[in-house]
Amino acid sequence: MDPITFDGQVAVVTGAGNGLGRTYALELARRGAKVVVNDLGINPDGTGAQSVAADATVQAIVDAGGEAVASYDSVADAAGGAAIVQRAVDAFGTVDIVINNAGYVLDKSFVNISFEDLEKMLDVHLRGAFFVTQPAFRIMREKGYGRLLFTSSSAGLWGNFGQSTYAAAKTGLLGLSNVLAVEGAKYDITSNVIAPIARSRLTEDLLGPMADALDPELVMPISLYLVSRNCDVTHEIYSAGGGQYARSFIAQTPGWFAGKGTHPSVEDIRDHIEEIRNEAGYIVPSDISAESMALLAKLT
């Protein structure tokens, strides 16, 4: 089969100065994309800012014969998000791909989290993805094509001690991506989520002896496939790390139907809880209407 290329396409990658984002940007450019390398240059804990990280990625792309420009705007406010997308339009005329990768990690037990900690985490991860994606989505909808990828985390999918704010923000991205997959379907805009397990400045102290096996280069192939012309998969979540690639999903069991017009008691729930929990025959609704239709079938 022919190789996957991004010739003639424009990609925006946030947090592309280091780690996963850098691997995405370099490979997109190597395969023909023009890349906006966005990175505020913050420290792993979310503090500080400098341009050197984005500049280094851009220089590596240019030295290899590719095309790229740097963006130092923050994703954490609407003006910064709009400026990142405008950088793509000014430099390359449009935007075809957005990979929302910018982020940082905070490890604090739930009782020690401050409201400021929560707001900052939501600003960078959840609001940041919204602020960058909305102006890009408008362009994609107008042209009838786009590829979106949001970076979640296994901490958000399954939970991890000391990462309540991080997990909450990362899980919020699942809902955002799901809605954009539904709203973008008729415009050939796909939206998917990657939950990477990779060594980076943010995670190297958390991964222990596994770190050596978790090269960010091993996450890159599935992320780039999901934003390629060749991929029409949408509305899905993928886990990637250490050479393993898997689909993750939120499912619904067949459950227990009490019967139309009945008013079950708390005791009825107790008596049927194992049937409610039984995973056999689960479904993965494509949207909220699919869940509603499954209920309607029982009611009728």
What residues act catalytically? 166
* Dihedral of the alpha carbons of 250, 251, 256, 262, in degrees to the nearest 10: 60
Query: Would you call 113 exposed, middle or buried from its count of C-beta atoms within 10 A (0-12, 13-18, 19+)?
Result: middle
User: Do 102 and 38 meet the contact criterion of CB atoms below 8 Å apart?
Assistant: yes
Tell the residue number behind the tokens 């094509």, with chain if given: 145
- Contact predicate 57/27, CB 8 Å: no
Distance separating alpha carbons of residues 274 and 255, to the nearest angstrom: 9
The beta strands (E) that lie in the chain are given as 10-14, 34-38, 67-71, 97-100, 146-151, 189-196, 237-241, 244-248
User: Can you give the three-state secondary structure of 8-39, one letter per residue?
Assistant: CCEEEEECCCCHHHHHHHHHHHHCCCEEEEEC
Dmax of the chain from CA atoms?
70
The structure tokens 């739930």 sit at 110
CB atoms within 10 A of CB 85: 26
Is the Cβ–Cβ distance between 13 and 37 less than 8 Å?
A: yes
3-class SS string, 192-223:
EEEEECCCCCCCCCCCHHHHHHCCHHHCHHHH
Q: For strand 10-14 and strand 97-100, is the pairing parallel, antiparallel, or unpaired? A: parallel
